[in-house]
Amino acid sequence: MDAHPERRRFRMVAPAFPAFNVYSGISKRTTAIGPLLIATIVSKLDAWDVEVIDENNYRKPGPRDDDGRADHRTLQAIRAADVVGLYGGLSSTIPRLYELARFYQERGVVTIAGGHHFVGGNIREALENGVDYVVRGEGEDTIRELLAVIREGGAPDAVAGIAFLRDGELVQTAERPPVTSFEDAPLPDFNLLHYAKIKVFPINWIRGCGMDCEFCAVKGKPRAMPIERVFEQIASLVETHNARRFFIVDDLFGHFRTETLKLCGMLADYQKAIRTRLSLTVQIRLDRARDAELLQAMRKAGVHMVCIGFESPIAEELKAMNKRTRPEEMVELTRRYHRAGFFVHGMFIFGYPLPDGVQLDLPAARRVRHFQRFIRKTRLDTLQVLLPVPLPGTKLTERLAENGRIFPREDIGWEYYDGNFPLFVPDAPLTPEEMQWSIRKIMGRFYRFRYMFNIGRNVLIFPAMMLSLWNIPYSWRKWYRIWETDLMRFGGWIVMRRWTSNLKHGGFMQNLSRAKRHIGAGRFSSGDHDGLAE
């Protein structure tokens, strides 16, 4: 082997969303952890220079093209990449991913794509749209082996967990088992991220999920990184990037109870030692509210917001999703989180399709009232209501496809697979138009312009509130909670205005009309959604 091999460049790209959506705001303040993990691993290999471009968090002085997007032509002129990795974790970004893959492939750059999107027929689709290799499953070990083959000119057949075309025939190598040992994994290197500004740092702890929700692509037995490594990630970012806000991206915070309590204790002691308060957001199951000791430990650790997948306040829909909870339990459990001092972000799915033989004769307006009543009772601080998405590889997609209910992708393409658009024939009596405008009505009632006046009021009452209560720290926390909630709700109103404008002028309704004709859904009317679109 050459003692001084020629240096190569690996560029990892997270493609941009196709248009403004409800994720656009937070995406400008954080990044996806998966691409960063892969890039960090490549940076440890001999003679590889590495950079990460997150097109959703892309700022000056990053070059831009005439459409305002990242200018990869100029990026190649500045630092030519030999291999480009493309993140396919979000189906809505796949059209942009293919555009980038073709751009780089035409210039002789090797293109590699991976992520949850690439299963089944989507693998061949990617390989026919500029992707040279598709990584199936987790990519840490695969990327090491594949880059070695690319560099040395070997045959890729021996690399497990990939797919490629040979003489037009699809080749899929042996499955690679999931990663179970994380002790030697390098810490994500945020210095590799170019032209971005991170305010909320993502932290990875647990992979997999045993809940087996019908609509979710995350499956398999949960596998956890040692808590010492999780703590090291956070402490390192505090020390090297002055980080204060973190988002633990896994869905299962608290799943490993003993380890969670230990991690919370470590974080609480660390914050005392450095005399700095951190703010953590976690995704957690609703039923963890029954564990008072866990909630207390989380508060001491700096957990500020809990994100909870309520999914629906309708029992029939929860059963169809394989959610093991009942609507009547949800309100009390949510109140426990509030009493413990947490902000609660509620995540819902509107209009979930029920399995064959189960009927729910509930018009859109009544469904909307169900959601609104539940939201009022739970007093959620922030809210996200999306439509069901038939994601690749899920049981929901399989069920809808068997019944011929998914709209043809030549009419409604991957760019609409972000939860903001109806993608299949809904259960009667709903129409696609009613589904879309129902989520607009629910969130439109929650995020309102009037919260701007509340923000001003909060500023005016601040001195009086501080002086009226003898416990200054308690007074501050109480005031700050009210102020922050109003600020987030006014910010949500701004997002909703832009999102609604995008829906009206994005051309989706014309695509939907064509899709309904092609699928032969003659029962559809235009949908009386004007009253829902306040």
Report the CATH number that the domain containing residue 113 is assigned in CATH. Answer: 3.40.50.280
Q: Is residue 448 located within the same domain as residue 312? A: no
Secondary element (H or E) of residue 227: helix 227-241
Least confident of 238-252, 321-335, 490-504: 490-504
pLDDT at 245 over 50: yes
Rounded Cα distance, 501 and 499, in Å: 5
Cβ count within 10 A of residue 127: 22
380 within domain boundaries: no
Strands of the sheet with 303-311, listed across from one edge: 200-203, 245-248, 279-283, 303-311, 343-349, 382-386
Least confident of 304-308, 324-328, 467-471: 467-471
- Per-residue pLDDT of 251-263, as tens digits, reads 899 999 999 999 9
Q: Is residue 277 located within the same domain as residue 207? A: yes
pTM to 2 decimal places: 0.91
Q: For residues 248 and 205, is the Cβ–Cβ distance under 8 A?
A: yes
Q: Determine the pLDDT at residue 505.
A: 66
367 within domain boundaries: no
Q: Determine the pLDDT at residue 281.
A: 97
| Mean pLDDT confidence for 227-240 | 96
187 within domain boundaries: no
Rounded Cα distance, 64 and 80, in Å: 16
Q: Is residue 295 located within the same domain as residue 157? A: no
Question: Measured between alpha carbons, how far is residue 136 from residues 89, 142, 333 in Å?
Answer: 12, 9, 38
pLDDT at 295 over 90: yes
Q: Is residue 255 located within the same domain as residue 166? A: no
Least confident of 84-98, 441-455, 458-472: 458-472
- Per-residue pLDDT of 377-409, as tens digits, reads 999 999 999 999 999 999 999 999 999 999 999
Strand positions, DSSP E, 146-299: 162-166, 169-172, 193-194, 200-203, 206-207, 223-224, 245-248, 279-283
Which of 316, 349, 382 delimits the end of a domain? 349
16 within domain boundaries: yes
Q: Is residue 324 located within the same domain as residue 406? A: no
Strands of the sheet with 162-166, listed across from one edge: 169-172, 162-166, 133-135, 110-114, 83-87, 8-14, 48-54, 193-194
Report the CATH number that the domain containing residue 275 is assigned in CATH. Answer: 3.20.20.70
Q: Which is higher by pLDDT, 154 or 446?
A: 446
- Per-residue pLDDT of 27-61, as tens digits, reads 999 999 999 999 999 999 999 999 999 999 999 99
140 within domain boundaries: yes
Residue whose entry in the numeric block shows the structure tokens 């459409």: 67
322 within domain boundaries: yes
> How many angstroms from the chain centroid is the CA of residue 188?
18
| Mean pLDDT confidence for 316-321 | 83
Q: How many residues does this entry show for the chain?
A: 534
Cβ neighbours of residue 519 closer than 8 Å, sequence gap 6 or more: 404, 405, 407, 408, 425
Which of 349, 378, 402 delimits the end of a domain? 349
pLDDT above 70 coverage of the chain, percent: 94
238 within domain boundaries: yes
- Report the candidate in 193, 280, 195 with the shortest Cα–Cα distance to residue 235: 280
- Per-residue pLDDT of 102-160, as tens digits, reads 999 999 999 999 999 999 899 999 999 999 999 999 999 999 999 999 998 888 999 99
Instruction: Return mean pLDDT, the chain.
Output: 90
Q: Is residue 498 located within the same domain as residue 432? A: yes
Q: Determine the pLDDT at residue 287.
A: 93
Q: Domain span at residue 78?
A: 8-172
Q: Is residue 129 located within the same domain as residue 207? A: no
Question: Measured between alpha carbons, how far is residue 185 from residues 10, 141, 147, 192, 233 in Å?
Answer: 19, 10, 18, 16, 11
Rounded Cα distance, 270 and 267, in Å: 5
What confidence tier does 501 reach under pLDDT thresholds 50, 70, 90? confident
Q: Which is higher by pLDDT, 10 or 475?
A: 10
Q: Which is higher by pLDDT, 288 or 23?
A: 288
180 within domain boundaries: no
Q: Is residue 153 located within the same domain as residue 227? A: no
Q: Is residue 135 located within the same domain as residue 281? A: no
Q: Determine the pLDDT at residue 532.
A: 38
The DSSP symbol for 215 reads T
Q: For residues 65 and 16, is the Cβ–Cβ distance under 8 A?
A: no
Q: How many domains does the chain have?
A: 3
What confidence tier does 534 reach under pLDDT thresholds 50, 70, 90? very low
pLDDT at 531 over 60: no
Q: Is residue 150 located within the same domain as residue 12? A: yes
Q: Which amino acid is at 266?
A: M
Q: Is residue 397 located within the same domain as residue 501? A: yes
Q: Is residue 402 located within the same domain as residue 493? A: yes
What confidence tier does 320 reach under pLDDT thresholds 50, 70, 90? confident
